[in-house]
Amino acid sequence: MRTEYSGDGLSESELAPTPLQHVRQWLTDAQARQAERGDVVEPTALSVATVDADGRPNVRTVLMRFLDARGPGFVTDLGSAKSTEILATGGVAASLTWPAMYRAVRFRGRAVPIGRDEIAEYFVTRPWGSRISAWASDQSRAVADRAALVAAYERYAALYPDTGAPDDVPVPDGWGGWRIDCDEVELWAGRRDRLHDRLVFTRVADGDLDTAAAWTVHRRQP
């Protein structure tokens, strides 16, 4: 099966002055499209690629929970495979893909731990059951069977019962998040005959994702 990509494309004149502004606009477009047409499920789904200490690549999907001038960020278990790989090499790449819109964003850079205050602020917004799971799951490590996982969940549920208060479950020390301090942000827009548009912001100076002078733009062949 072949699908012709009939997207609007992306021209230099349409590009926002900074990577943050452009990514935010595309994310807003994706969320609006999901609300209207329902064909961009989980618009913040972010594929995160890492490399382990032996140079073996790995990839998985998370949700982009943060996006600001410091970079996109996600929450996870700090003892998980992805966190272990990040700690080993520091390098990380990630992509948002919205196939229904023929659009994708690619981030490359270094992973930076998200501060504990920010993590605590975010943790209380999660439903009680998700907060209990953060305690019950030693993410990425083997477990004998599902029953063992459920037993761990029930143990923590009894320890930290749902009182309706935001702080009824403490933040596990081993749970946190990573932000990508980007040195490259690529915007990809699919077009007819595979002649796609690729505009790439590359960091050339100090400054964050919303500092125009920190970035240069070039077009890459599709």
Ligand X SMILES: Cc1cc2nc3c(=O)[nH]c(=O)nc-3n(C[C@H](O)[C@H](O)[C@H](O)COP(=O)(O)O)c2cc1C
Whose Cβ is closer to ligand X: residue 10's or residue 180's? 180
Find the angle CA(67)-CA(92)-CA(77) to the nearest 5 degrees. Answer: 75
CA atoms within 13 A on the CB side of 57: 8
Which residue, among 217, 184, 189, 186, has the nearest Cα to 10 in the 3D structure?
189
Q: What is the maximum span of the chain, computed from C-alpha positions, in angstroms? A: 58
In whole angstroms, what is the distance from residue 30 CA to residue 16 CA? 16
Whose Cβ is closer to ligand X: residue 47's or residue 211's? 47
Nearest-approach distance from CB 50 to ligand X, in angstroms: 8
Whose Cβ is closer to ligand X: residue 55's or residue 164's? 55
Nearest-approach distance from CB 21 to ligand X, in angstroms: 24
Which residue, among 120, 97, 112, has the nearest Cα to 190 in the 3D structure?
97
Which residue, among 81, 77, 54, 64, has the nearest Cα to 23 in the 3D structure?
64
Q: Are strands 91-98 and 103-113 parallel, antiparallel or unpaired?
A: antiparallel
What is the DSSP code string of 44-57?
Answer: TEEEEEEE-TTS-E
Whose Cβ is closer to ligand X: residue 2's or residue 146's? 146
Binding site for ligand X (CB under 6 A): 42, 45, 58, 60-63, 74-76, 80-82, 139-140
Nearest-approach distance from CB 49 to ligand X, in angstroms: 10
In whole angstroms, what is the distance from residue 155 CA to residue 90 CA? 34
